[in-house]
Each structure stands twice: as C-alpha cells, then as structure tokens.
Amino acid sequence: LQKQNMITAKSVPRQASRWQRELAQAIGDPAELLRELALDPVLLPAARAASARFPLRVPRGFVTRMRKGDPDDPLLRQVLPLGAELDEAPGFDTDPIGDRAALAAPGVLHNYHGRALLLVTGACAVHCRYCFRREFPYAESGAGAARWRPALAYLRDDPSLREAILSGGDPLSLSDRRLGALLAELDRIPHLERLRIHSRQPIVLPERVDDGLLAVLARTRLQRVLVVHANHPREIDGTVRAALRRLATAGVTLLNQAVLLRGVNDSAAVLAGLSEALFAAGVLPYYLHLLDRVRGAAHFEVKESEASAIMEALRQRLPGYLVPRLVRELPGQPAKTPV
C-alpha cells in the first residue's frame, strides 16, 4: 500500500469533513482492536505478525457492528490479521488476476472491451484481509492523482471506450476536490458515456456519502453507477441504509459485489439475508466472486463445487433478480468467467 496515501489524524486539517476525521481515527493497531472487542490477547502475536505484511485498518463505526468477545464474528473475520495469512499455499500469489499484465498505461487497466479501469489511489478506508490487491505496487504502476495525465490521455485516444471505471484502492478516499477534478476531466472525453465507481466506503464509512460527494456526482454528465462491496447482512445497518438511499435518490444506480468467503458468508441463508438487506436499501446484487487466489488469503477459499451447491440453494430461496452471478476472474480472459 502507498503510505503517502494513508490518511492519519495528524494529516487531517481542522476544516476536514466528518468522513475524513472518521477515517483518520480508523483503528490500525491490532492490540486496540482486540481491546475494543474484548477478545483474548492470545490473538495478538499472530495479528501483529500478519499486519506487518499487510497493515490492519478498520473504521471505528464498522467495528461497532461486530459482536464483542466473538473471534469468529463474520465482520471481524474480514479485517482481523491472522497467522494463517503467513502460511504458504500452492497456487496463491501476489497478482492473482494478472493486473500487472493488464496495465495499458500508467494507472490504467484495460481488460475488457468498451471500458477501462483507472487506479486513482492506493488508499482504502478498510484493509480487507482477502484483498486481491493487498500487495499491488501502486506507486510503481502509476496510481494516484499526481499521475492521472497519462491515464486520461489513454482514455481520450481510444474511441472504443464507453465507460470509465474508478478503482484503487478506494476512489472515494479522494477528497471531493480531487474527485471533482477527475470527473471534470472525464466529462471532457466525448466518447465516454458512463462512470462506474467501485467503493467499499458507503458500507464501512457511510459518513462519506455527504452533501459534498452528492454535489460532485451531480455535476457530471456521465451516467453514474456505484458498485458497493458488502459481504454479510450485518454490514448494512441504519447508517448504511441512509447513505445508500441518498445515493439512489440522487439518481445513482447502485449494485453490490461480494466475495464468497469461508467463515463469513459461505451459506445460502447468509447470502439470502445479504440480498434482502441490499434490496431493502435500494441496491441490486450484481456479482458474487469466488476468491481471487492472492497470497495470504487461502483460509478464506470456498471450493467451486461447494459454491455451486450454495448458489443452487440460493436460487431456491430468492427471486432471480436477487441472485447475484457467481463468477471467477481469470487472467487474460475477455470477461469474468461464470461458474
């Protein structure tokens, strides 16, 4: 991760928005997380060892949704560093979906026809332990506001592109000023029609959906799609529902993509609850990803045969529009591979 993109309490000015102050106060010390949740200190040595490779980071508001005293809480499991992350597992590596090979220009991934993905920052509000970019070399790959010019030039020079996808990191880690400046540049590219933003922040840091963000999104001429990332129904509390409804009321199309994770959501009952909670908040389930086989995440993997059985049970529980598509992302493929 790019340390220069990390927001800390010392770096946030007094006039910062509420979401920036909340982000600056995120928990980054495993000992503090264990104390907050009344967990056994025996977990600390392994948590510190794993966080040395991939740092802990989790907003305090997300922590309040976790059950105290439960080391297997499904929300905690997504963020708590574990000793299992240090185990070597065959087939798990640092670039599981071939991002490096897909770099078409600094900060641009171009895998699929008609759309290109911009890595606009390496910063995130939360460090998910299964993140497929947990070891991605953002600085070397041209991600970040200081290097947007070649990425924008690439988009301008390819008239086949209809959609710009903002990713990272989390693009909503950008300030409203920087995000607005980027969207203004995208607006000037005549062949672009759609803007898609992939962000976990409306889920883990709903304060990010404020008047400033809505004003920025309202100024673009592009059709706006926001793909959020929730894996468990308990992630969607009242504050999240309110944030998502504000986005929907502003005319933003809302979709969700989840990852199938061992010990988090590997049951039809949990996934059905997730789809119901999402739809009640104005979000359509979009993708359910099989785990990208990144180093350090093998303990989250659900076998494909088990995943297919879960999906069959899910189809029996839900109407078709609430069933996400089960997919796997494979390097070099022209689209996501249905499972």
Residue-wise pLDDT tens digits, 131-180: 999 999 887 776 666 678 999 999 999 999 999 999 999 999 999 999 99
How large is the greatest C-alpha to C-alpha distance in the chain, in angstroms? Answer: 57
Mean pLDDT score, 91-120: 94
Mean pLDDT score, 307-336: 94
Counting Cβ atoms within 10 Å, is residue 119 exposed (0-12), middle (13-18) or buried (19+)?
buried
Examine residue 98 and say whether the peptide bond preceding it is cis (omega within 30 degrees of 0).
no
Q: What's residue 8's pLDDT?
A: 58
Report which of residues 141 and 303 the model is more confident about.
303
For residue 303, pLDDT over 90 is answered with yes
Query: For residue 104, what are its two tokens?
Result: 């078409």
Number of residues that make up the chain: 339
Residue-wise pLDDT tens digits, 30-57: 999 999 999 999 999 999 999 999 999 9
How far CA 156 is from CA of 112, 160, 333, in Å, comes to: 17, 10, 24
∠ CA 49-53-55, nearest 5°, is 90
Q: What's residue 295's pLDDT?
A: 97
DSSP state, 336?
P
Residue-wise pLDDT tens digits, 48-86: 999 999 999 999 999 999 999 999 999 999 999 999 999
Residue-wise pLDDT tens digits, 148-162: 899 999 999 999 999
Mean pLDDT of the chain: 94
DSSP state, 258?
E
Q: What's residue 11's pLDDT?
A: 56
Query: For residue 98, what are its two tokens?
Result: 């071939």
For residue 310, pLDDT over 50 is answered with yes
Q: What's residue 141's pLDDT?
A: 72
How far CA 211 is from CA of 111, 206, 221, 250, 252, in Å, comes to: 34, 12, 18, 11, 14
Answering whether pTM is above 0.85, one says yes
For residue 3, pLDDT over 60 is answered with no
* Cα(270)–Cα(177) distance, integer angstroms: 38
Inter-axis angle of helices 176-187 and 148-156, nearest 10: 20
Q: What's residue 52's pLDDT?
A: 97
Task: List CB contacts of 121: < 8 A, sequence separation 6 or more.
Answer: 2, 5, 138, 143, 144, 145, 168, 169, 170, 171, 173, 174
Give the three-state DSSP class for 226. Answer: strand
Judge contact between 314 and 268, C-beta under 8 A: yes
Give the model's confidence band at 2: pLDDT under 50 very low, under 70 low, under 90 confident, else very high: very low
Burial annotation 213-227 (CB, 10 A radius, 16+ → b, else e): bbebbeebebebbbb
